[in-house]
Amino acid sequence: MSRIAARFEQLRDRGRTALIPFVTAGDPSAAVTVPLMHAMVAAGVDLIELGVPFSDPIADGPVIQRATERALAQGVSLDDVLDMVRQFREQDTETPVILMGYLNPIEVMGYETFAVAAHGAGLDGALIVDVPPEEGHTLVEMLKTQGLDLVYLLAPTSTESRIARIGAVASGFVYYVSVKGVTGAGNLDTAAVAEKVGLIKSLIRLPVGVGFGINNPETAASVARVADAVIVGSAIVSRIEALAATPELIPEAVAEFLTGLRQAIDEVDAHVA
Amino acid sequence: MSTSPDHLGLAGFDSAGAPHASSGAYNWPDAGGHFGPYGGMFVPETLMHPLEELRTAYERYMADPQFQAELDADLQDYVGRPSPLYHAERWSRELGGAQIFLKREDLNHTGAHKVNNTIGQALLARRMGKTRIIAETGAGQHGVASATVAARLGLECVVYMGEVDIARQEANVYRMRLLGARVVSVTSGSRTLKDALNEAMRDWVTNIDNTFYIIGTVAGPHPYPAMVRDFQAVIGREARAQMLARSGRLPDALVACVGGGSNAIGLFYPFIGDEGVAIYGVEAAGDGLQTGRHAAPLCAGRPGVLHGNRTYLMEDNHGQIVETHSISAGLDYPGVGPEHAWLKDSGRARYDSVTDDEALRAFHHLTRTEGIIPALESSHALAYVHKLAPTMRKDQTIIVNLSGRGDKDMHTVASHDGLVL
């Protein structure tokens, strides 16, 4: 069983909803990322999504675009991101880590080289934003051979047949994009999310995470009522941006924000239990 | 550089049922929008169903006689088609080789081939019940062509344009605003065409319910490369018929400039099955391929994935897209339409490049020899003809796509000559 599957099984047994943070690797500098990952685990996150910087992030809003530009200005590459995962694994062998990014850096590295290097670094999976199942066959095979999960997105525009199709190829969990829009959009409609997540759960057996537009404890709590995982990105990245000039303060500030989200989610979990 | 399928991890690529270009019957793309290993649909999930709806509507209306009649009428009465095929006798005589024919897309309404596509896509948008159109633009020609058809059909129009391009194309920005479009300055990334395309994709994903995205070239996810090609193929269909009517035979060679590649594919496509017709695409070599300051992914790039499709790109060793350079803003793009990537690999077309200086010389030369001021983009094709024609016999013919007129480039050419207008 993959580290991701094991983690979700544990969480289900304990009646706990996962909290998944996203940060762009190397933002604002490469030295910040690994200590930040440990601080987030200490604050109670269950899985980490590490963004791989790409020059043309079409699915991202301004906050993550700027994070990407900060990381690229430091020259952070896919190799560097895998190195960060390797360093993280020196101290933490339990928290699953997935990469989130765009295909081209992997395309240039080569699918097989990437899969082997990712496995070697202790990575657990990847979510490649611009790879729908129609284009993912070869990548899935390469990752599977190395025991890595390929996490797929689902969207408000995904039809029932698409949801079922994605369920057949996804592994680890699926990531429901709660709004039509880019990362950091702030207009999440919790009733609509609940309805769509219900539909997804009736068609797919994997855990369902929900992200895009979750930026405070209240929204996190309302999503926790319907999803298996609450995914938060831009709200964290904007805190990192505010402290870019004093990076030593970043881990603690992010941990404090995540602790607030964790408490809100725990209250929902206790109530449901 | 390896371009083998293994490098791309394409071992599982399924091209069953799609005939090979070399087997005679050319029928690309396949059902998934692939041209060999190129093209496809590399987009976030939110766009997959909308792209499916677009493909369905496009296929339905391309087979609908009423839609076709409306499109043909607009192309005739609004755009001014058919565009002439002009025998540049004086220039041909001077070069001393093949007879050169100019396909006069510069005479279209709005001054370039771009309008052939925006007319088609805007009619499709209206049929699909969309009330808002968005577009990206580099030099501003596609933005103007989009704003033009939006004004005529009464559709809201938003054009995304890089901050850098806005500064160097003021006249076109004003033209778009006169036509009622909102021009949004894009300040992310390199602040040029590729970033404008990124921003348009972000708008589309956010406003998918009422918005139609008019992509200006044969790039983007399926069905755009095929759809834009089909709307531009009127260029090649006319040129083929005009040449046959005039000389009773097909041309010996075709030449067109290639940025994204829509004017080129528009001319080439109806001739792909005519094996005796040589096809040449001309990229922008900028300061020279060896300097790295160019916009020639087919000549000096390698395959990768950007803006929804797999194609040749200009990128660094880590897969980051790099900035391009060309004196011609319309060729200043780090990718190229996936069908060109396939025509290159399959050997059906040949791609070469000319520098800024060569294009400028051709610009001045045509202006003085034939009394036609060409766009700087088209001047790249002309510069290639300058090399090609003398190697051919006088009884042979070349059709070169004069894709746009040069009025928009007065400031660029003047400043290159040390003048301020």
End-to-end CA distance of chain B: 45
Chain B neighbors of A134, CB-CB under 8 A: 32, 40-41, 48
Residue B109 β-bridge partners = none
Q: Is the ipTM of this complex over 0.95?
A: yes
For residue B300, give the H/E element and its range.
helix B297-300
**Is the per-residue pLDDT at A104 higher than 60?**
yes
Other C-beta atoms within 10 Å of A69: how many? Answer: 16
Catalytic-residue membership of B136: yes
- Min Cα distance B121 → chain A (Å) is 22
Q: For A50-63, how does the pLDDT look when each residue is reduced to its tens digit (9 = 90+)?
A: 999 999 999 999 99
> What φ, ψ does residue A75 adopt, rounded to 5°?
75, 25
Cβ within 8 Å, pair A157-B43: no
> What is the model's pLDDT at position B24?
55
* Contact yes or no for A55 and B320 at CB 8 A: yes
For residue B93, what pLDDT is reported? 98
CA atoms within 13 Å, Cβ hemisphere of B264: 34
Based on its alpha-carbon atoms, the radius of gyration of chain B, rounded to whole angstroms, reads 20
Q: Which residue bears the tokens 């729908």?
A: A132
Give whole-number Cα distances, A257 to A66, A260, B181, in Å. Answer: 20, 5, 42
What is the maximum span of chain B, computed from C-alpha positions, in angstroms? 57
The burial class, CB within 10 Å (0-12 / 13-18 / 19+), for B218 is buried
The A residues from 57 to 96 touching B (CB cutoff 8 Å) are 57-62, 65, 69, 72, 77-79
* Residues of chain B found within 8 Å of residue A155, distances taken between Cβ atoms: 44-46, 48-49
Q: Rounded to an integer, what distance in angstroms lies between the CA atom of residue B34 and that of residue B15?
A: 8
Inter-chain contact A139–B308, Cβ cutoff 8 Å?
no
For residue B420, name the pLDDT band (cuts at 50, 70, 90).
confident
Q: What is the pTM of this model?
A: 0.95
CA A200 to chain centre: 18
Q: Mind listing the pLDDT tens digit for each residue in B17-66?
A: 343 344 458 999 999 999 999 999 999 999 999 999 999 999 999 999 99
Which pair of tokens denotes residue B412?
Answer: 């660029």
- B347-392 residue pLDDT tens: 999 999 999 999 999 999 999 999 999 999 999 999 999 999 999 9
Distance CA A232, CA A19 (A): 8
Residue from A130, A165, A187 to probe the interface with B (highest B Cβ count within 10 Å): A130
